[in-house]
């Protein structure tokens, strides 16, 4: 009789895998804070007012917070996508969006485009939980220190 087909083969934890997952999480941190140095000037230019105008502060606060709100709200969706399509495809889709959205943000010529780009960036970085889940799935007692140490 033939041997039963092997059950799902677990991916191996390699230095390359750790580097890629770490880089993806670093991109999330960078994208969250990317606009901090210049956002008030950018918004004041769009609003054609002084950076000291309270309206600029309100818009900046919404723009900065939008990323985190989207990341939290869409993380459940990314979990479902990862369960349906697989961890790697979900991570790659999110990574592609995390590359495109900041470029769109930087090239934005209106406040509307900048808000859409920030929304998309938060949406695509909502898959940060997928990267942590993927790491958790490939770690076992034999490689736990390598992954978390």
pTM, entire model: 0.83
Residue 147: CB atoms within 10 A of its CB come to 15
So what's the pLDDT on residue 123? 95
Q: Is the pLDDT of residue 120 over 80?
A: yes
In the structure, what pLDDT confidence band is assigned to residue 113 with cuts at 50, 70 and 90?
very high
State pLDDT tens for residues 41-100: 999 999 999 999 999 999 999 999 999 999 999 999 999 999 999 999 999 999 999 999
Q: State how far the Cα of 135 lies from the Cα of 82, in Å rounded to an integer.
A: 13
Q: Is the pLDDT of residue 5 over 60?
A: no
The alpha helices in the chain, defined as continuous H runs, are 15-33, 39-47, 54-85, 87-107, 111-124, 128-138, 144-148
So what's the pLDDT on residue 1? 47
SS3 of 10-24: the string is CCCCCHHHHHHHHHH
Instruction: Check residues 81 and 148 and name the one with the higher pLDDT.
Output: 81
State pLDDT tens for residues 9-38: 666 788 888 898 888 889 888 888 889 999
């Amino acid at each position: 009789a033939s041997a039963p087909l092997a059950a799902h083969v677990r991916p191996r934890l390699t230095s390359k895998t750790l580097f890629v997952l770490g880089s993806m999480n670093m991109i999330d941190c960078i994208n969250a804070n990317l606009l901090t140095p210049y956002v008030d000037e950018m918004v004041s230019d769009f609003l054609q007012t002084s950076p000291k105008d309270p309206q600029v502060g309100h818009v900046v606060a919404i723009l900065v917070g939008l990323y985190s709100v989207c990341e939290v709200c869409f993380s459940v969706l990314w979990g479902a996508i990862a369960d349906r399509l697989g961890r790697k495809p979900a991570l790659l889709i999110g990574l592609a969006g995390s590359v495109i959205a900041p470029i769109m943000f930087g090239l934005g010529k209106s406040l509307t485009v900048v808000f859409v780009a920030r929304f998309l960036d938060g949406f695509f970085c909502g898959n940060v939980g997928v990267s942590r889940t993927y790491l958790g799935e490939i770690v076992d007692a034999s490689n736990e220190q390598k992954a978390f140490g």
